[in-house]
Structure 1
Amino acid sequence: MKTIVFIGSYKSGTSKEALMIAKEMGYYVVLCTDKAKYMTSHPDFLEVDQFVFIEDLLNEQQMVKEITKLMEKGKQICACLSFIDPYVSYAARLSKHFEIAKISVDSLGVMENKIAIREKLKDLPMTPFYTIFHPDDSIKKFGKENKSLFPFIIKPPISNGSKDVLFVETIEKLVSALTFLQEKHPNNPLLIEEFLHGPQYLVEILVYNKEIKFLALVEQEVLYNGRFIVTGYKFPGEVGEDEYRSLKGCISSILEQTGLSNGSCHMEMKLVQGKWKLIEVNPRMAGGAMNRIIEEGTGINLLKEILKVHLGEEPILPEKKKNYVYARYLTINSRGKLLKITGKELALKHDGVKYVHIKPHAGRLITAPYSMGNRYACVIAVSEAAEQAKAIALKATKEIKFYLEPF
């Protein structure tokens, strides 16, 4: 039985959608998880044929043992992959171990570490100024030596969804941020980068046999609250011809330097005074509703084509339509126990609204946003004009109401 093994999944977003697509493609779907509750929550994972519980998903010896068991029971393992950090390169390494498909293991591994990727790309012009704070460095001394650099960004080398990415503009905030991150990530170096001013874009990329098969530009709207929370996505991101040509050149240079010949990734870029600067690289498709955004805009199911690359097949990416798409994510400004969320059906009735997702269930504690995980609803609208798509989505979001019990 042809089987795809997934390592880790959330209950919604890209990782969950990948399970559904694999099932639609006719594969037996195995989910390796460290969440025992998933195995008893089948209504949330109807597309999963078999769960494999592993307490530590990064226990490679145990993972190899479990996949071998599957093979011994007649499962033909066709792909092993993950859309969740830090399992992306790990899954690619397992694919290599079982000789499944030629995915760029080393390249994906470098992309998973924010310090490693900066060091790899340090000589490229799109790399902004950065430095590294080591565990044994003096916070006060570092602050005095680098006070001319304010403002800047501090982040741990392994993170996702804007977790623990902090904006610092004074020595006092620097001391506070470094102390906080050192306590949360003990004995780890921290990446410090210059803060760049300019519009921010997400670039989805799929590479097959060293050729860029797909490149999608999405403009991001970012909420700056001491963290960096993306609340809006405009597709396609609109830039001039020269800027787009320059962007493709930057992407090619980055891919060549990292050695990505088979696989997918997304990059976050800023356009700073007409020059592209790299914010970060992630070795997987962006999470949330990114696949839906691209499919509504182009007709291309990018996740399906990514799965095909992991299966050793050439992706086929004909653009079937051209729409403007706007996705709006909702956050809240308070903290409390969720009683209910209303308005989903009303939001869906707005002409042009294609998708409304409500994330949390009643009873959950929800808060103001500290990471992308604190975005609690999403509305996607489509139109023939970019501003109209945005206006539709924003109007529809007003239907959605959060009812909280203060906590």
Structure 2
Amino acid sequence: MSKRALILVEGTRSNGLLYVKAAQCLGLYPITLAADPARHDYLAAGGCEEIRVDTSNFDALIRECSRLNATYTIAGITSADELVYGTVGKLCRYFDLPGPNPTSIEQCCDKFVQRQLLEHANVPIPVFRLGTNATEIESAVAEIGLPVVLKPTVGHGSIGVRLCRDANELAEHTTYLLGENHMWPSSSPRILVEEFAQGPHFSADIMGAQIVGICAVEDGPPPHFVCRGYTHPASLTDEEYKRISRVSLSCMQALNLGWGPSFVELAWTARGPVVIEVNPRLAGGANPRLVQRSCGIDLVAEHLKLVIGEGLNLRRTHSQAAGVRFLIADRNGTLDRIRGDLRAAEIPGVVEVDLYVGPKTPIVRKGDYRDRMGHVIAVSPSQTRTAAILQSAVDLISWSISPFPTRGEQ
């Protein structure tokens, strides 16, 4: 009898290894298809076959999966990477396997199309416009009024997203997005200009059409949106929880996302919960681990169960307050040292300390998720206690970054 294989198309730093381990726990043989397997450092540890293939070429993926299907029984195909998730949906349909609706995924991943569909369904969202050049962007801002948020219509991890509070910031970021430094998936830049929804941020984790939980999001200082931490569950009244849940599930209906994982980012504004973004995938940045620590639901494993045609089990087994704090680079330069992680890991309640970088790593801040150098996760019976544990752990971790040499010093 041939092995039951799980095909993983590409991967992510935060969740890639979780998918490999969950597949193994389900008795599956994980195989990763990647354009450059070396990008996914967790593959070096073994336990997952890796195959180099152009993941942007649908025909190449069909050929590779067909070849593997001659040796293994392909139990399912999936990914933790939003950029290829629409392609995954098409592969699942081609091989008659459970998977997401590719049309819904592609519509959701285009932030402008997503906003149009949400607006049509009367979901509360910021006022928005589309701009493809500086003139259109200036016209949109004149209608909406400062401050505004500028963001590419396609992307993830807050790449290229910035709050523009005045004309100088607007001109600077417009020039950046329309210039050569920002990489666009096509030759024509498409920029979303939207009203700044001011208020505390939350994220609702959804599996299928069921709310699994809502976490509080801590953003760093403007003008960027670098997430500094999550707390699960968020401290909400029953009414606040109901309102966020109701708005989040209305997004699923408006975008036809009734299968698999999704998460909805919201701001609680003067008019209540306003949807910032809908993501048709599992959240990254340690969020699935927080959910599991908080209530016992393994979102990665439950996603894989859907992928291979098994039923969900979203039953909570316990109730704890789980939190993560990210270590954010505070300057550009060369990382000389980062230490204190071992002492931080010894603090009672700390369950995970992970450093993404080591000495001699060049640090070039981007104003997005790539500025994170590591994280600390803690768990306790109360949110106040968890916050105190996290602060104590983070205070023990220090680093030194030397400025890059100037041209005359090289």
TM range (shorter): over 0.9
What residue is the counterpart of 2:193 in the other structure? Answer: 192
- Residue 6 of structure 2 is aligned to residue 7 of structure 1: no
What stretches of structure 1 of length at least 5 have no aligned partner?
Answer: none
What residue is the counterpart of 1:172 in the other structure? Answer: 168
- Residue 96 of structure 2 is aligned to residue 99 of structure 1: yes
Post-superposition offset of 1:5: 0.6
1:21 partner letter: A
- Residue 53 of structure 2 is aligned to residue 51 of structure 1: no
What residue is the counterpart of 2:38 in the other structure? Answer: 37
What residue is the counterpart of 1:130 in the other structure? Answer: 128
Q: Give aligned pairs, total.
A: 396
Give the alignment partner of residue 298 of structure 1, picking from 292, 295, 300.
Answer: 295
Where 1:316 maps in the other structure, the secondary structure is: coil
Q: Is contact 2:257–2:280 with CA below 8 Å preserved after alignment? A: no
Where 1:109 maps in the other structure, the secondary structure is: helix
Q: Is contact 2:350–2:389 with CA below 8 Å preserved after alignment? A: yes
Q: Is contact 2:129–2:140 with CA below 8 Å preserved after alignment? A: no
Change over 3 Å in CA distance of 1:239–1:138 after alignment to 2: same
Q: Is contact 2:163–2:224 with CA below 8 Å preserved after alignment? A: yes
Q: How does 1:232-251 map to 2 (within 5 A)?
A: 232-251=229-248
Change over 3 Å in CA distance of 1:57–1:298 after alignment to 2: same
What residue is the counterpart of 1:332 in the other structure? Answer: 329
Q: Is contact 1:331–1:369 with CA below 8 Å preserved after alignment? A: no
What CA RMSD, in Å, does the superposition of the two structures yield over aligned residues?
1.9
What residue is the counterpart of 2:82 in the other structure? Answer: 85
Distance 1:351 1:369 in 2: 34
Q: How does 1:311-326 map to 2 (within 5 A)?
A: 311-326=308-323
- Residue 177 of structure 2 is aligned to residue 181 of structure 1: yes
Change over 3 Å in CA distance of 1:38–1:162 after alignment to 2: closer
Where 2:125 maps in the other structure, the secondary structure is: coil
Distance 1:88 1:65 in 2: 18
Distance 1:93 1:36 in 2: 22
Distance 1:359 1:352 in 2: 21
1:194-222 C-alpha deviation (Å, 9 max, x unpaired): 00111100111100xxx42x421000010
Post-superposition offset of 1:322: 0.3
Distance 1:30 1:76 in 2: 12
What residue is the counterpart of 1:60 in the other structure? Answer: 58
Give the alignment partner of residue 398 of structure 1, picking from 395, 399, 402.
Answer: 395
Q: Is contact 1:369–1:375 with CA below 8 Å preserved after alignment? A: no
- Residue 17 of structure 2 is aligned to residue 20 of structure 1: no
1:47-106 C-alpha deviation (Å, 9 max, x unpaired): 21x21102x31100111111111012x211111111112111211111111101142222
Change over 3 Å in CA distance of 1:143–1:313 after alignment to 2: closer
What residue is the counterpart of 2:157 in the other structure? Answer: 161
Where 2:92 maps in the other structure, the secondary structure is: helix
Where 1:325 maps in the other structure, the secondary structure is: strand
What stretches of structure 2 of length at least 5 have no aligned partner?
Answer: 405-410
Where 1:163 maps in the other structure, the secondary structure is: coil
2:9 partner letter: I
Post-superposition offset of 1:134: 2.4
Post-superposition offset of 1:132: 0.8
- Residue 357 of structure 2 is aligned to residue 357 of structure 1: no
2:336 partner letter: L
Change over 3 Å in CA distance of 1:204–1:189 after alignment to 2: same
Post-superposition offset of 1:139: 5.5
Distance 2:167 2:256 in 1: 38
Distance 2:141 2:10 in 1: 43
Q: Is contact 1:229–1:369 with CA below 8 Å preserved after alignment? A: no
Distance 2:137 2:349 in 1: 54
Distance 1:144 1:377 in 2: 36
1:326-353 C-alpha deviation (Å, 9 max, x unpaired): 2111112112222332111100111111
Distance 2:259 2:137 in 1: 44
2:76 partner letter: A
Q: Is contact 2:141–2:148 with CA below 8 Å preserved after alignment? A: no
Post-superposition offset of 1:43: 6.6
Q: Is contact 1:81–1:88 with CA below 8 Å preserved after alignment? A: yes
TM superposition score normalised by structure 1: 0.92
What residue is the counterpart of 1:203 in the other structure? Answer: 204
Q: Is contact 1:143–1:175 with CA below 8 Å preserved after alignment? A: no
Post-superposition offset of 1:36: 4.8
1:127 partner letter: I
Q: Is contact 1:103–1:310 with CA below 8 Å preserved after alignment? A: no
Change over 3 Å in CA distance of 1:249–1:225 after alignment to 2: closer
Q: Is contact 2:131–2:140 with CA below 8 Å preserved after alignment? A: no
Kindly, what percent of the aligned residue pairs are identical? Answer: 22
